[in-house]
Amino acid sequence: MKYELDPMDARILAVLQEDARLSMRELGRRVGLSAPAVTERVRRLEEARVLLGYHALVSPAALGRGIQAFIGVQESGQRDPQLVQWAKTRDGVLEVHSVTGENSCMIKVALRDISELKAVLSELIELGFTCSTSMVLETLLSGKVLELEGVREGEQGRLRRVVGS
């Protein structure tokens, strides 16, 4: 489905990236639309899969998952579906990315302790994957929002983007 983003869509997306908990009435007020008009635009953005969802950002450490790591999986290639299936069922796996470079996949995990990390690595090795691990010492930047053309204060630029195929 093709969807052409206009400057109003960009403003809506910018506001939602800052605070996705706004009511449609408040969102409309902030972008200069009525609640029904902004609701319809948000619905279209969702249907076009421009707006993928709304979620709470939870602190892993507050949930007892103080160990965060990136696990590089080398040469998974044709076995990516097996890796993804394992990841879907494995508690603590947050993300799986297909990447270029030394690794073919990167897995982000949030775990309780080193012994749980060791268990995750053992499972992957048992499945036949070769892994490397990088522990997160400190998160220096997280939750950065995408900047959208035409929505910065004072900017007169015109946004035209076609999304989808």
Residue 84 to residue 38: CA distance in whole angstroms = 36
Query: What DSSP line would sit under 109-145, residue for residue?
Result: EEESSHHHHHHHHHHHHHTT-EEEEEE-S------PP
pLDDT digit string (tens) for 27-57? 999 999 999 999 999 999 999 999 999 988 8
Q: Identify the residue whose tokens are 């408040």.
A: 26
* Residue 5 in this model has a pLDDT that exceeds 50: yes
User: Is the pLDDT assigned to residue 147 strictly greater than 90?
Assistant: no
Largest CA distance in the chain: 57
Distance CA 31, CA 82 (A): 44
Name, of 64-78, 85-99, 131-145, the range with top average pLDDT.
Answer: 85-99
Q: What is the pLDDT of residue 150?
A: 57
* Model pLDDT, residue 165: 43
Calculate what percentage of the chain has a pLDDT beyond 70.
89
Query: Class of the 61-135 domain?
Result: alpha beta
Structural domain boundaries of the chain?
3-55, 61-135
CATH class entry, domain 3-55:
mainly alpha
